[in-house]
Amino acid sequence: MKRQDRYFMEVEGALKSGTENTFERDEAVVNVDMKVIRTTVALLPTADVKLKSSWALSPNFGFAKDRPLRVWRVAELSDGRKFGVLEVNGGSVLFFDEANQFCNKAVNNTKESQVWQTGLLSMEPDGAKFERSLVDDVLKSGSLRIIYLGTSAGAMKFQEVWVQGSRIGKSITRTFDQFAKSIDIAGFKFEIVEVKGDKLKLRYDIASRTEITEVQVGQIALQNKRD
């Protein structure tokens, strides 16, 4: 079993990527809106669909037209075949192949054991099908400000401020050696060109959309959105 969802960070704002820029004390080096997106494979029924089992003790499964069915995992067999794993209400799991055809097995999870229920899953109505697509869900959203606080005692100081709505979620003071050539703040890398008094010249390259790991998602200091 493997998870197949992917994570992306989207950044919107007046970015000055790829150029050298000078900032004064208390000026925002970066001031952007951010979103963390989870992209998931989904099946989309083209009609109201019922998967009927030929075995009387196995449940039937109904799906509404145009309602995406998120598929978190894929099962890879030793012979190279892949099957999507669709978790449905009641603890059942359905498997479908790469042509989006459902297999004739479902598993019912109970507290005591897993019970396999077998039987042909026929589809109603005729001509209905499932189309594969990608669905984006916003996990986190907010704003990030990185403010240059000037230099003192041989150190550069920055304030990293995470904002959601009108609330400051987290504020961290970052301190670096005045002669550092590169620094990392909030996962972004900055190349220091020159530090002179209360003026800072630097360069950065921040993409509008970047793929990140699940670990990095947890490190972004914004609260998860509630459904």
Instruction: List residues bridging with 167 in a β-sheet.
Output: 164
Contacts of 126 (CB under 8 A, 6+ apart): none
Give me the tens of pLDDT residue by residue for the chain, a chain 227 residues long. Answer: 888 899 999 999 989 899 999 999 999 999 999 999 999 999 999 999 998 877 777 778 899 999 999 999 998 888 888 889 888 877 778 888 888 888 766 666 555 666 665 566 788 888 888 999 999 999 999 999 999 999 988 899 999 999 998 899 899 999 999 999 999 999 899 999 999 878 999 999 999 999 999 999 998 989 887 64
Give the pair of three-digit tokens for residue 201: 């010249």
Give the pair of three-digit tokens for residue 111: 């507290």
Cα 120 off chain centre by: 36
What local confidence, expressed as pLDDT, does residue 115 receive? 60
What local confidence, expressed as pLDDT, does residue 207 receive? 93
Distance CA 145, CA 85 (A): 41
Query: For residues 138 and 37, is the Cβ–Cβ distance under 8 A?
Result: yes
Instruction: Return the sign of the alpha-carbon dihedral for residues 42, 46, 49, 54.
Output: negative
What local confidence, expressed as pLDDT, does residue 227 receive? 45
Cα 62 off chain centre by: 28
Q: What is the pLDDT of residues 34-93, one digit of tens each?
A: 999 999 999 999 999 998 877 777 778 899 999 999 999 998 888 888 889 888 877 778
Report the candidate in 172, 179, 178, 180 with the shortest Cα–Cα distance to residue 146: 172
- Per-residue buried b or exposed e for 47-77, using 16+ beta carbons within 10 Å of the residue's own CB: eebebebeeeebbebebeeeebbebebbeee
Give the pair of three-digit tokens for residue 18: 């790829």
Distance CA 81, CA 62 (A): 26
Report the candidate in 77, 52, 70 with the shortest Cα–Cα distance to residue 62: 52
Cα 46 off chain centre by: 26
